[in-house]
Structure 1
Amino acid sequence: MRVAEAFRAAFGADPQTVWRAPGRVNLIGEHTDYNDGFVLPFAVPWGVSAAVTPRTDQTIRLLSLQSPGGPIELSAREEATGWARYAVGVLAMLGDRVAGADIAVDGDVPQGAGLSSSAALEVAVASALDDVHGLGLTPMEIALLSQRAENDFVGMPCGIMDQAASALCEEGHALFLDCRSLGSRNIPLDLAAEGLGILIIDTQVHHEHAGGEYAKRRAECESAARKLGVASLRDVTDLAAALDHLQGAERKRVMHVVTENHRVEALIGLLRAGKVTEIGALLNASHLSLRDQYEVSSPELDVAVEAAFRGGARGARMTGGGFGGSAIALVAQDRLDNVRESVSAAYAERGFRAPRFLSATAAKGAHRLA
């Protein structure tokens, strides 16, 4: 495989192990994870492969097939910059349990599409290090460690959803995750049996959350929870009463989080009842809430959703952190071309960069390749 060959060429020996972890797309449950709420992501076919051999010294040598130049060599973990922070952050969270490592990574997650290539990188590296060191970590422990790497080392205050999806998802299923208890179960997601599919519409507007609006939204939610006297917005049971105590942005954020948790539960109910064709209305409602109450959409995302619906989609919404990235559309297989044409025409009419389309199926979580 390509990553093993690159490892051999760079470091002069075969890697001791190779792991692959996928990116994710979130079917529903946006900006609820760091509010102790519910999410329903599924793993996508694209991911990151990590070839790893441990070292006995503290040196870290890193190679990415997606970055120009040869390996990066670090003598201290704090020296990491750019993409290397995500891999080195995992080693930092493992602390004394690991020393150094030689690591080569190869990814095919479309960059900037909001499909969580960073979580895929973290989980692939963490899984490989767990394997070679015999640490015995569970998939959820790997997800939590990867989340801490992104929170504490990279400085991105993300919730647990992305890493959990990458580590725990099963093929053909979506992962229902309670972000407070960390209880999870995989829910069958057989869209093809109903003649449906998920179309990812990559707006080609790239985003970088670590420096701005994402952290601001999280702070607004935490402030609102304090004012309401609850541990997190998950605990708001009387929405009308809560809204009476808030105003401005915080009022809007609470409205979104509470109703989005209800939408996750409603969508799971439809899936279990075999009413897959009826989930589109929940996707539409989620997008409107993200646009108007959480205010994390963008013109490109809104146009993608509206044009997908005009083209025949059963439902559509932005997915991921927002401000760019991707939308998803629930589309009958015989309407896929119509939806693509509708979105492409709407983008051309507004002078937007042409979108990219990806058909997503529910893929396998982190697994060993060699």
Structure 2
Amino acid sequence: MTTSNRRVLLAQRPTGLPTPADFRIDEGPVPDPRDGEVLLQILYLSLDPYMRGRMSAAKSYADPVEIGGVMEGGTVARVVRSRHPDFVENDIVLSHSGWQSYAVSNGEGLRKLDPSHAAVSTALGVLGMPGFTAYAGLLTIGRPKPGETVVVAAASGAVGATVGQIARIKGARAVGIAGGADKCAFVRDELGFDAVVDHRAPDFAVQLKAACPDGIDVYFENVGGHVWDVVFPLLNPFARVPVCGLIAQYNDDPAMASGPDRLPGVMRDVLTKSLTVRGFIQREFTDQRPTFYEEVGGWIREGRIKYREDIVVGLDKAPEAFIGLLQGRNFGKLVVQVAT
């Protein structure tokens, strides 16, 4: 074990897309656990779009990271020293330790992982928060029925890929939206979606309409922006729209918004089509986690759900990788390997 703890701190609040100057690498001593605590060595760090919101001081569902504070995030860690009765050295745990090499925990919120069941990095992806977001949002709010059309954007990502595959397991038709030929091929050929459309195509709207000849019954929204503009007119009466993210808009400055106010038209269609548009945070459905682990774990073992990880090696690479995530440069669930 090294004697220093490397951390990535928030140096300043970004304006628009974050830049490397918004982060600062810090070196400090490895913390020492007290009675009832464990020292964790971080093995994997999850990078997720919601972290952009934590960099802002704007009002949200969670407190922002303070200037000079460690960037927050989900992690997989190894217990390297324990003074807690429930944990022993070399236990592998899911934690929320943030962008750093080591962390101390009192055990609250830690979940032991069994490396023999699945690669431990999946606890940050398909068997973690992104997978659970897909599972709970789709089945609780989207409620897909056999034969219905389910559309999901960012379909090659951790959430979108899981949404489409679960939709097909439930007998629905899955249509993915992705950016670029490689991602579209992965969604179609590897994940088995019924159709996929490239949102970068100049005739994106025409292609999506052709891929959804009977309209859209469920749209799992995690992008917003121009994708929403194209999807919205295709929503059928009584369509359900779980909203878990708006990555295309995370870097926008609300004070700089311009253009016509389209909200009245959207609300008119919400009314006349009897649409359900429901935002959610995955922690609202915590009671479903045991079923999620059992069902999705089983589907992975059966080969009915596949996943892809985009692993970046080195904590120093986290800022650059995160900026790329917000630009759609990652391919699959983005994870930083901090240690081995």
User: Where on the TM-score scale, by shorter chain, does this alignment land: which range?
Assistant: under 0.3
| Richer in helix (by share) | 1
TM-score (ref. length: structure 2): 0.27
Greater RCO (Cα-Cα under 8 Å, separation 6 or more): 1
